[in-house]
Amino acid sequence: MSGFSNPVFRRLCVRFGAAATVSEFVYSRAVLSGAEAVMKKLRFTEAERPYGVQLFGSDPSEMAEACSYVEERLAPDFIDINFGCPAPTAVCAGAGSALLKNPDRMAEIVHVCSRALKKTPLTAKMRLGWSESSIIVPEAALLLEAAGAKALTLHGRTKLQGYSGPADWTLIELCARSLKIPLIGNGSAEDLSGAELASSACSAFMIGRAALGNPWIFENMRRRMEGTEAFRPSRSQRIAVALEFASEMCSEGIDGVSERDFARALPQVMAFLKGFSGFKNIRRALSGVKTLGEVRAVLEREKDL
């Protein structure tokens, strides 16, 4: 997720049960510029594997070039194409969910990108369609499969739905049963019961917002499918992981962050504490902090409550 998927968070997700992780989406043209800021967004460590780099764009040959560039320089486990982002940045560039209006162009992009890659599997992520009256699955998903996609993620909402309203798991299931390649179901998957997850015919599930401040969700989804009791981290466990997250975000090396990045990390630290009694006060205390030492002081105080 843009603004949230970083090496520290991805490592926590894997440690607590995620089967794979993905970078935030980056514009193929920006990748080709080789700008340090863009490449920094894509860097990862071994502990995040299997790890995929997600690209968005609208020009098939530029995207194919960006795929080769990423394959050569970063060697991720897969490269994913974004056909779902509803944000104006993507849509105005004719990319992301704008492409849901043009399944042939989506297929062309998948075709040229998968051919450009020497050994890295090409996957794609899409939504149901632009709007309720222009649903393109399963037909478009079948086109992408024929074009060379090795797996697909389907977010069961339309572009116009954005991130709210129910995801349509009936259409996700229809799509999963129509394809030969694995389908990864996405869209408030954490609201599904174990039986619903099992009957969806999906090979895996992608968790977005529910993982923020809650990397235990991955293990708990597995437990739900197995019918075993969920793991509920205690207050002190959550504070300990929040502290670990904050310190790693500030450590040097691959995850070295600037003051600006630090400010961006704070909402993620806060997310670990959501639901605590007195959360409003914690949020107020954290919103003014400037250094790791100050974050630590706030969290240590909470530990003792």
Ligand X SMILES: Cc1cc2nc3c(=O)[nH]c(=O)nc-3n(C[C@H](O)[C@H](O)[C@H](O)COP(=O)(O)O)c2cc1C
Site residues for ligand X per CB under 6 A = 1-3, 24-25, 54, 82, 84-85, 125, 155, 163, 186-189, 207-210
Q: How far is the CB of 274 from ligand X (least distance, A)?
A: 15
- Point out the catalytic residue in the list 85, 175, 202, 250: 85
8 Å CB contact between 295 and 254:
no
Q: Which residues of 180-212 are buried (b: 16+ CB within 10 A; e: fewer)?
A: ebebbbbbbbbebeeeebeebebeebbbbeebb
Mark residue 188 as left, alpha or beta (left: phi above 0; alpha: psi -120 to 50; beta: remaining). Answer: left
| Residue nearer to ligand X on the CB measure, 2 or 102 | 2
Q: How far is the CB of 155 from ligand X (least distance, A)?
A: 4
| Residue nearer to ligand X on the CB measure, 85 or 116 | 85
CA distances from 150 to 55, 77, 187 (A): 16, 12, 21
E strands along 72-121, which residues?
A: 78-83
| Residue nearer to ligand X on the CB measure, 95 or 299 | 95
CA–centroid distance for 147 within its chain: 23
Q: How far is the CB of 80 from ligand X (least distance, A)?
A: 7
| Residue nearer to ligand X on the CB measure, 162 or 278 | 162
Q: How far is the CB of 9 from ligand X (least distance, A)?
A: 12
Beta bridge partners, 193, equal none
Q: Supply the DSSP symbol for 121.
A: P
| Residue nearer to ligand X on the CB measure, 239 or 265 | 265
| Residue nearer to ligand X on the CB measure, 212 or 289 | 212
d(CA 82, CA 126) in angstroms, rounded, equals 7
164 C-beta neighbours (distance < 10 Å), count:
7
Nearest residue to 81 via CA among 108, 42, 54: 54
Q: State yes or no: is 85 an active-site residue.
A: yes
Q: Which two tokens stand for residue 206?
A: 């992608």
Residue nearest to ligand X (CB): 208
Q: How far is the CB of 277 from ligand X (least distance, A)?
A: 26
3-class DSSP string for 221-257:
HHHHHHCCCCCCCCHHHHHHHHHHHHHHHHCCHHHCC
Written as one letter, the residue type at 62 is E
Q: How far is the CB of 211 from ligand X (least distance, A)?
A: 8
Q: Which two tokens stand for residue 38?
A: 């863009």
Active-site residue list: 85
